[in-house]
Amino acid sequence: MTERMKTVWLLAARGAAAVVFGVLTLLGPRLTVPTLAWVFGAYALVDGVMLLGTAWRHRHGRRPAATCAAAGTLGVVAGLIAAVWPGLTALALLVVAGAWAMVTGCLELWVATRMRHELRHAWWWRVSAVVSVAAGALLWLHPAAGAGAIALVLGVYALIAGGLRLAAARREYRTSSGRGARSWTGPASSARVAH
């Protein structure tokens, strides 16, 4: 399996995890803060581990790899804080989730821009990153939000971001396997890897 296809599968896995998290969050309208914190923590932890996997795959790319590693580490830390802290309040969860979404989104936006020559449909990933930043900002703009509002924002964000990641992975897969999906940004040379 080529490095590009490994990246595609990691992107697809992140998209699937986000969709599952979004569905679980939105299907539980009466989620308590501890339960929501646990679900969010599990998702952030899994997403962080997969970002660390992406960083490892692109470890020779230096700056993109370091940025993916930073985003992955943030996800792992946020996940552990949310899942392990038994007395987490709605405000604390909002701060943790908001910070995670905003910082991770900014880092992913930078990485997606740097990897635009390797991923032919990187703009899908960039839109997903923007959605992440917007979700974090929305959470921070409403510090008095309860568990229901936090669940709604996180659930909708996860479904949109997950869907975009899955769409990006599908387009990359079809383009790389020669199944007829044309690149909207033009062909990219397989020899060009982001530095």
pLDDT recorded at residue 130: 92
What CATH class has 3-176? Answer: mainly alpha
pLDDT recorded at residue 2: 66
pLDDT recorded at residue 184: 35
Q: What's the Rg (C-alpha) of the chain?
A: 17
pLDDT recorded at residue 194: 32
Global pTM value? 0.81
The pLDDT profile of the chain, 195 residues, written as one tens digit per residue, is 566 677 778 888 999 999 999 999 998 767 788 888 999 999 999 999 998 988 887 777 666 788 888 999 999 999 999 988 867 888 899 999 999 999 999 988 887 787 666 666 667 778 888 999 999 999 999 887 888 888 999 999 999 999 988 988 888 788 776 654 444 333 333 333 332
Q: How far apart are CA 37 and CA 58, in angstroms?
A: 31
pLDDT recorded at residue 185: 38
The closest of 16, 4, 22, 10 to 135, measured between CA atoms, is 22
Domain ranges of the chain: 3-176
* Residue 119 CA from chain centroid, whole number: 16
pLDDT recorded at residue 29: 63
The closest of 13, 109, 192, 174 to 184, measured between CA atoms, is 174
